[in-house]
Chain A
C-alpha cells in the first residue's frame, strides 16, 4: 500500500480531523496528560518502564494498529530517512485518514460486535460496508450505536445496521447480555436469574432493566420479501424472581442504576399498526426506541467508559478493565483517573474516536518499546510502562503476510493495468485514488483473508488472550497458500531477493520487507551464513528464508 499524495491528505485531514477548539486551547494536549497520569503514584514506574521505541518499530506498530497491515519496505526506508522532528505525528495523521484505517476499524468493530457469528438475516457484506463507510466518515460512536439500536430493518438504506439485533434473533439471553457486555462493559448474564453471587454490583434488575427495552419486540418475517425485521407490541412487562431468594422484582426499561423509563401514562396498548397475521405491528409508544437514547444519553457514563476502555485496549494491548466486559467494584480500572480523562474527553469531543486514537498513538506510553533493557526490572503488574506484545488478528496476519511477500504490491500493479485497459479515459486518474486502491485490493485479496480467519479466528466470545493450535501452525508451516506467495513472480519479495547480488543486500531487503526494520549486524551475518550454506541463492533457499521470517515470533506479534 503506497502513501497518499500530500494535497489529498491535507484536504482529508481538514475534513475529518476537525478538532474541537477546546481540546487544544489552554490545556495540555491529551497525549501528554495520558503520560502524566500513567505513572502517577507508582513508585517504581520509571525503573520498570522501557525506552521509547525506535522509528522502525514505531512505524510497524502504528501502521498495524491503525491500518491493519505492516508497511512496505519502501515505506520503511522513507520513514527512516525522513528528517523532520514531527514525522511520527505526520505519520499518525496520514494513517488515520487512509481508507485502510476505515477497513481496520471495520474489522475491529465487526469482530467486537458480531464476534464472527455466521450470517443469519443480514448479509455480513452489507453490514461491514456500513461499518466501513461509517469509519471513513469518522461517524461518532454514539451516532453509530444509536443507528445500530434504533433501526428496525424495514428500510433498505438503514437495514445493514440492524444486524446486531436481528442476527441475534432478538433472543434476550443474547441481546441483553451483549448490550451489557459490548456497550456497557458489564456481563450481566448471571444476573438473569439472581443477583450476581460474587459480583456485588451486578443485580438482577440491571439485567432485566436492559431486557425490558426489548421484551416487546419480536422477529417479523415478511411473507412476500421473506426478509426478517423487528416488530413490536404495545404491551408486556418485565418481572423477575430470584432463583436463590425467591425475591420478586419488576422493572421498566432502565440503564443500570439510572432511573426507570416509565411508559407514558396515556400509552395504553395503542398501535400505529395493529398486530395481525402477516402484519408487522408498530406501537404508538416504543420501548425499543428508548433504548438507543438511553444508551447514548450523557447520564449513561458506563457507555463512555466502555468505549474508552476498548479503544485503549485496541492500542495498548490491554484494557484498564480486563476482561473488557467485567467492570465492577471488585475489578476496578487499573488507572481510574486516566480512564476518567478519556471518558470526559469523549463526551467533550462528541465521541470522536479518531481523535482519541490519534492522542493515544501520540502518547509516550503508546510509543514505548516492548523490550526492556538489561538494567530494568520486570514489573509485577502490567502498568503500561512497557509496550505489550499484541498478537496479530487473523486479518492483520493475512494482510501483513501479503504485504511482506509483495503479493499486495504485485496485485495492485495488475489491478491498475486492468483498470486502465477497462477505462482508458479516466483509468489513469482513478488508479491513483487511495479509496479505489484499497477497495480494489480488498476485492482481489479478500479470499486469502478469509482463509486466515477460518484458521485463526473463532466464532464466539472474543478473547484478548493469545491462542495457538497445531492446525494453525500446520497452516503456516506447510499450507499451500503461504507457500504460493513465496514463489518468485513479478516484483514480489522472493523475485527481488533473487535479483540482488550479495547476501548482505538480501539480508537487508528481507528485514525491511518482513520485519519492517534493518537487520542488526549479527542478524545480517546469520542470513549470510544461511545463504552460504545453501548453495548461495538457490530459489528454494530464498523461499524458505522468507518463510522462516514470516512464521517467526517477531512477525506474529505487534511489538
Chain B
C-alpha cells in the first residue's frame, strides 16, 4: 500500500466560508471572478516557455554527462559559459547560453512510466485531477485583454492531455499541430467576411433576448469562448506567416526550428504559456545515434531561441523549462539503447525568477542514483510557480473548494529562485 507520499487530494482544504461563496461558484461566477491567489503581476506580463523533450531525454547525453565511466556512453563533456559547468558535447550551442540557465541534476520521480512521469512533471502531483503548469499560468498570468489563448501547445503529434482540470476549459491547452494553426480557424467555404460578421451579429441578437432575467455567468463563459475564437481567427496571419528566411537559417528548417519560431512569435505577441514538444527521445535502441539526431536539432534551435528572448528583453519575464517525463537508464542495453529512468535525472530551467548558472543537486559517480539534494516533480512544480511569482502554497479558490496549488508536502527549491 502506498502511504506517506504526500496527499494528492484536490479537496484537501475545504473551508466553511467557501461554501457560502460556493453557491455562486457553482453557477460559474468563480470562473470569471478575480482569482484569489493570482499575484497581480505588475509591469511586464509573465510568461512560460516549455520545451518538452517527449519520450525522456537522456541526462547522460545532455545535462549530466559522465564521460569515461561505466555507463557514460561515447559522448564527452564540454565546458559551458558558466565556469566549472560541463554539459554533453551534443549541446555545443546551448553550452554558450548556460549563463542564462540552470540545471537540476537530482530528480527522482520514483516512476518509469511515460504517462505517470509526464502527469507528475506537469501537475506536481503523482495522481489526481490537477491543472498543468500551463493551465495555471493561463489562469493566473494571462492578461485580461489577451489576444491569444493562455496556453498553447505546439506539437507534431497528438498526445491528448486534459490539462486544465477544475480551472475550466478556457485554460486548457490549445493544440497547434506544428505550425499549422488550430482546427476550424477559417470561415466556412462560401462565406465572405461580411456574411460572417453578419451571422455573428445575428447570433448576438438571439443572445440578447435570452439574457434578460437570467444570471450572466454561464452565458458569459460561453460567449467568452466565441470571443476567444474570433481573436484567434483574427490572428490567423500570425500562424500563417512564413518565417523569415534568416530566422529559418538560424533556427533550422526542420519542424522543431519552425515550431520554435512560432513560439517566439506567440510569446512576443503576449501569449502566456507556450509549450513546444520535441518528439523522439524514447531511445530504447540506438540511443546515441538518436540523441545525436534529436539533440542536434534541439541544441541550435533552443540556443537561438533563448538568445533571442534574452536579446529582446523577454527572458526576464519568461520562465524557460526544458524537461521530459523522466531520464534514461545509465545501463546501456544490448540495442545500444537506454530505457526509462525516473530515478536520477535532470532538467534545465532559466529566465523569469530563476537564478542563472546554477547546478542543483548531484548524482553519484556512475549516475545510478541521486547523491545530493533529491527533489521530485512536486518540488519542481513549486519552483516553477514561485519563479513566476505565484504563491504555490496558496489555494485555488474554485466553486466551493479550496485546493492547494502545489502539493502541500513539497517545497520549492529555494536556492534556485532569484
Contacts and interface: CB of A to CB of B under 8 A. Distances in A.
Interface of A: 172-173, 187, 189-190, 192-194, 196-199, 211, 215, 238, 240-241, 243, 318, 322-323, 326, 330-331, 370-374, 378, 380-382, 388-389, 391, 458-461, 463-475, 477-480, 483, 520, 522-523, 526, 530, 533-534, 540-541, 544-545, 547-549, 551-554, 556-557, 559
Nearest to B188: A483
B198 A330 contact: no
B3 interface: yes
B198 A534 contact: yes
Nearest to A486: B188
Contacts of A553: 206-207, 210-211, 219, 222-223
Contact of B188 (A382, A478, A545, A559): A478
Given A199-B14, A474-B232, 17 more contacts: A190-B9, A193-B6, A197-B12, A198-B13, A238-B1, A371-B213, A372-B213, A458-B162, A458-B169, A459-B162, A467-B168, A472-B169, A474-B184, A474-B233, A478-B184, A551-B203, A552-B206
Contacts of B175: 471
Contact of A526 (B7, B160, B205): B205
A460 B165 contact: yes
A544 B199 contact: yes
Given A189-B128, A240-B1, A389-B215, A548 B206 contact: yes
A215 B2 CA distance: 12
B41 interface: no
A548 B209 CA distance: 13
Contacts of A540: 190-191, 195
A193 B28 contact: no
B8 interface: yes
Question: How many residues of B sit at the interface, in one of the four size bands?
Answer: 35 or more
B351 interface: no
B149 A470 contact: yes
B23 A381 contact: yes
Interface string B186-206: 111011000100111011011
A323 B207 contact: no
Nearest to A208: B1
Interface string B1-42: 111111111011111100110110111101100000000000
B225 A473 contact: yes
Nearest to A546: B199
A450 to B, nearest CB: 14
B221 interface: yes
B212 interface: yes
Contacts of A381: 20, 23
Nearest to B3: A193
Nearest to A467: B169
A192 B8 CA distance: 9
Nearest to A519: B209
Question: Which of A196, A211, A370, A468 counts the most chain B CB atoms within 10 A?
Answer: A468
Contacts of B25: 465
A479 B129 CA distance: 29
A323 B225 contact: no
Lowest 7 CB-CB distances: which A-B pairs, in order?
A467-B169, A468-B225, A469-B169, A473-B229, A552-B206, A548-B202, A190-B9
Contacts of A380: 23
16 contacts: A187-B9, A243-B3, A389-B215, A391-B222, A460-B165, A469-B228, A470-B228, A472-B225, A474-B183, A474-B233, A478-B185, A478-B186, A545-B199, A547-B199, A553-B219, A557-B219
A414 B283 CA distance: 53
Nearest to B16: A330
B225 A470 contact: yes
A477 B12 contact: no
Given A460-B165, A540-B195, A471 B183 contact: yes
B229 A466 contact: no
Given A323-B400, A382-B27, A552-B207, A371 B214 contact: yes
A534 B203 CA distance: 15
A272 to B, nearest CB: 26
B221 A467 contact: yes
B172 interface: yes
A471 B182 CA distance: 8
B27 to A, nearest CB: 7
A199 B15 CA distance: 9
A107 B347 CA distance: 43
A523 B209 contact: yes
B193 to A, nearest CB: 13
A193 B4 contact: yes
B127 A173 contact: yes
A194 B182 contact: no
Question: Which of A331, A523, A552 counts the most chain B CB atoms within 10 A?
Answer: A552
Contacts of B186: 478
Contacts of A465: 25-26, 28, 30-31, 166, 168, 399
A189 B9 contact: yes
A370 B214 contact: yes
B242 interface: no
B207 A469 contact: no
Question: Which of A381, A478, A523 counts the most chain B CB atoms within 10 A?
Answer: A478
Contacts of A533: 198
A449 to B, nearest CB: 18
B90 to A, nearest CB: 36
B303 to A, nearest CB: 32
Contacts of A371: 212-214
A485 to B, nearest CB: 12
B11 A190 contact: yes
Nearest to A391: B218
A366 B183 CA distance: 39
B82 interface: no
A467 B200 CA distance: 21
Nearest to B19: A331
Contact of B401 (A241, A318, A323): A323
A473 B12 contact: no
Nearest to A482: B188
B58 to A, nearest CB: 29
Nearest to B148: A470
B305 to A, nearest CB: 25
Contacts of A461: 129, 165
A375 B219 CA distance: 22
Interface in B143-174: 149, 160, 162, 164-166, 168-170, 172, 174
B226 interface: yes
B159 to A, nearest CB: 12
Nearest to B18: A331
B10 to A, nearest CB: 8
B224 interface: yes
